[in-house]
Structure 1
Amino acid sequence: MPERPHLAVVGAGPAGLAGALAAAARGVRVTLIDAAEQAGGQFYRQPAAALGARRPQALHHQWRTWERLRDGLDHHLTSGDGHFTHLTDHHVWCVERESDSGGFTVHALRGPAQEEGVTVRADAVLLATGGYERVLPFPGWTLPGVVTAGGAQAMLKGGLVLPGRTAVVAGTGPLLLPVATGLAAAGARVAALVESADPRGLPRQARALAAQPGKLLEGAWYASTLVRHGIRPLTRHTVVEAHGTDRLEAVTVAALTADGRLKPGSARRIPCDTLAVGHGMLPHTDLAETLGCTLTGTDVRVDDEQRTDVPGVWAAGETTGIGGAALALAEGHIAGRSAAAHLHGASPDPSRWAAAARARTRLRAFFAALDTVYAPPAGWAERLTDDTVVCRCEEVTAGEVRTAVGALGAGDLRTVKLLTRAGMGWCQGRVCGPAVAGVAGCPLTPGRRPFARPVPLGVLARLPEREVTD
């Protein structure tokens, strides 16, 4: 029997799982590679088995969808035919296209120490690498007790722990709702939900929103949960400063005017030991950029089959644009079916995934409408004091960035980086990039990197010479 064509799927969140299962069901050999110890991604993040969670479904929405994905994964892994491999705790740092064969080599680091290199060779690749939170600084944001909204959610879902006893959830975007309600349901007192967006902008997007009644019902459920827990939503408000000495003790919030500026005399101080703050998400595109995939803004550009413009590379989920789990599932399913057809040398039949394509269209319109409402408040960068740190790795302040622009003539992120070291640390600008761009007043342009994460020199030294020099 001829060997089955091989698809490597990077990321085991909703998009990666949907794509891997769709391809495997159509006779493709699949290797699913993920950095986590369990499948699910951030949305379906599971507590460690050793914690003995009795009701993990209490931390999740769409639990039945997760059960179907989990059961499908288990079925393929236990079938005994060896055509499906799930590599957990593998951190992919590069994907190379092999010029001689047209295939791909996926490079990963294995284990918590990430000191052992692993390579996977495949005929095609599906990138389902998800997204990461946009972090916008403010005075006091480096205090212990200040976490991202997604970080607070990850602690709760993955570790069954609360980041604190009294929390303020702040920023902008739909993610704030599940974070606030999840913390409250787990026993934290949520002193305030601080949303910078103006809810009066939602009716102007009524057509796109009405096309997703399930999402509207979900929003109504969150609203009723906030009321039940006595959580105060402060809309058109923002965090001005976090206070404390050794750790967070309180935050100051203020109302925003119609043009996003601080309303004079509206500041109020809220005692808390935790601030979970987030201003939306951005796609993970490092691997796509290394392969040469074209980006539209910050999103990987794909066609109707979720194909990138690099032959043999598909992309799905948040990496093609932030849109939530349901959209990621639809895109992953389409990508898996399309990849399977092409790997078998057949012409894909879009009618086979028509339902997923319709869902994708509606959900993209829905989240595009939300994006027009949930945007970071105008003037946030102007409110930063010169001594506010914007790059934590290199301890670069807003004042240093302003000097690089105003006195030294920097006009883009790369030049600011060269003059200040902002973005030269461990995160390589992934965390501080939006903040530095905002302070500098320049576009957030993705930087093409050869590696998606730090790699030990020993791993590079052990690679075959051809792979190092190509």
Structure 2
Amino acid sequence: MATERPHLAVIGAGPAGLAASLAAAAHGVRVTLIDSAAGAGGQFYRRPPAELGARRPAALHHRWRTWRRLGDALAARVEEGTIRHLADHHVWCVEPVEPVEPVEPMEPAERVELVVHALLGPLQEEPVTVRADAVLLATGGYEKVLPFPGWTLPGVVTAGGAQAMLKGGLVVSGQRAVVAGTGPLLLPVATGLAAAGVEVAALVESADPKAFLRRTVALAAQPGKVAEGVRYGARLLRHHVKLLPRHTVVAAHGEQRLDAVTVAALDTHGRVGPGTERRIACDTLAVGHGMLAHLDLAESLGCRIDGLNVAVDGEQRTDVPGVWAAGETTGIGGAALSLAEGHIAGRSAAARLTGTRPDPHTWARAARSRRRAREFFAALDSVYALPAHWTEQVTDDTVVCRCEEVTAGAVRNAVDELGAGDVRTVKLLTRAGMGWCQGRMCEPAVAGLAGCEQTPARRLLARPVPLGVLARAGDPEDD
């Protein structure tokens, strides 16, 4: 019977979670795939709902064939009962039934029992629990946005937010846009908006094009990704999008909403060049400065964190028995890397739970794909570095923590006058990071303004939970 198979809970239905679920199910493991979205695919494969009647949803994507293959395979596994897909389930905690100690070095995971706690539905009020023999974290990442004067105006959105609106709702936030910040995400956002009829006035990228020349060996090892970048560049030219490399947004302007931005050139040291400012009229600013891994569930489980990523071994195992991690949560690297890591993690979990050995040829092929993708994105990370002196453009009256309305001046005062030397102390002195998002959005900015390193926050819960749900969480029911 299917219910007698070992049970793996996969959290996150993006590329990594999908690949892991399919790999594990194909090798004798019963899988429960848990995701907060209404449909599988994550941000990368986000699609408009059928009710909108999109005639060509593939036009907003590349690698659409990969999604069709993954989506069809998931549907087949769900129909046969080897994968259960729980959509619109928001996981707030994962805990072992019995306390377990992390292992060092990473040894083969012993069979443990873990409980996944989730909230069902858009209001996130109905509690759901899932018991599993192992858990695979594929929780993805979220955007990093640094503050600047005017960044809280209506019309200023994250680059990923603009893309999600377009992919998921076929809507745009304005008619004339500026796309700004740094990172490879800006290219598909700018081209997607332009293809949707938005006048993209400029793509403002703080990276220096010369930095790509210093990474030609690593970049050339992935010719498909290089060709993809060239195609994006061709589309920008076709839509007459002005590219402003080594520039940054220094301010957004408007009364009730955004009506213009000021951009300026950066010198070789990452400072704004005097007299280089120019004002660009727009009603939308899509801005992003890279990505951060979702670490909350891994932190609450006690997984070792390496920098700002979950630490894993060659099989994508964490140092907590029964817990694997794959995709952006182990390091930002795009869909191809997530697919490779997910496949490895799913095969590894299946092998450990069933006592079998993975096929060495398939394993080696996935490991090569993972290595190449990691090397490529390590090179990109060095190119798309933040401007070294971005904090100099943040005025004292700029709001840094939007939840608690804490300004940059208050953060600087906590450091200069009150002696704060880390993000936690700044938080205690100013309330920066104590609001609804619990610092997920403002921590990079607070750390930068405080001149200290951003470290994992070790949050107990991954999202806000009603007290009534917490009161009943001590006695979970079987899934």
Read off the aligned partner of 1:31 and give its amino acid letter: T
**In 2, distance between residues paired with 1:382 and 1:222?**
32
**In 1, distance between residues paired with 2:154 and 2:38?**
27
Aligned equivalent of 2:89: 90
Aligned equivalent of 1:34: 35
Is 1:380 the counterpart of 2:390? The answer is yes
Displacement of 1:466: 8.5
Aligned pairs for 1:67-466 (under 5 A) are: 67-79=68-80, 82-99=81-98, 102-464=112-474
Aligned equivalent of 1:55: 56
Aligned equivalent of 2:105: none
Q: Is the 8 A contact 2:13 2:40 kept in 1?
A: yes
**In 2, distance between residues paired with 1:199 and 1:130?**
28
Displacement of 1:176: 0.3
SS of match in other structure, 2:454: coil
RMSD over aligned CA atoms reads 1.2
**In 2, distance between residues paired with 1:339 and 1:465?**
27
Q: Is the 8 A contact 1:342 1:348 kept in 2?
A: no
Read off the aligned partner of 2:306 and give its amino acid letter: T
TM-score calculated relative to the size of structure 1? 0.97
**In 2, distance between residues paired with 1:254 and 1:31?**
49
Count of matched residue positions in the alignment of Structure 1 and Structure 2: 465
Aligned equivalent of 2:14: 13
Q: Is the 8 A contact 1:134 1:434 kept in 2?
A: yes
Q: Is the 8 A contact 2:129 2:476 kept in 1?
A: no
Question: Deviations 1:62-101 (Å, cap 9, x if unpaired)?
Answer: 000000000000101112xx33100000000000012178
**In 1, distance between residues paired with 2:410 and 2:320?**
39
**In 2, distance between residues paired with 1:356 and 1:206?**
24
**In 2, distance between residues paired with 1:327 and 1:347?**
23
Question: Deviations 1:237-263 (Å, cap 9, x if unpaired)?
Answer: 000000000000000000000000011
TM-score calculated relative to the size of structure 2? 0.96
Displacement of 1:351: 3.5
**In 2, distance between residues paired with 1:156 and 1:352?**
37
Read off the aligned partner of 2:66 and give its amino acid letter: T
Displacement of 1:382: 2.0
Displacement of 1:463: 2.2
**In 2, distance between residues paired with 1:277 and 1:303?**
34
Read off the aligned partner of 1:88 and give its amino acid letter: A
Question: Deviations 1:383-418 (Å, cap 9, x if unpaired)?
Answer: 211100000000000000001111111111110000
Displacement of 1:180: 0.1
Q: Is the 8 A contact 1:11 1:130 kept in 2?
A: yes
Read off the aligned partner of 1:84 and give its amino acid letter: I
Read off the aligned partner of 1:333 and give its amino acid letter: H
Q: Is the 8 A contact 2:116 2:129 kept in 1?
A: yes
**In 1, distance between residues paired with 2:453 and 2:290?**
17
Read off the aligned partner of 1:129 and give its amino acid letter: T
Displacement of 1:427: 0.4
Question: Deviations 1:309-346 (Å, cap 9, x if unpaired)?
Answer: 11111100000000000000000000000100000023
Displacement of 1:465: 5.2
The gaps in structure 1 that reach 5 residues or longer are none
Displacement of 1:347: 4.1
Displacement of 1:16: 0.2
SS of match in other structure, 1:265: coil
The percentage of aligned residue pairs carrying the same residue is 74
Displacement of 1:349: 4.9
Displacement of 1:27: 1.1
The gaps in structure 2 that reach 5 residues or longer are 100-110
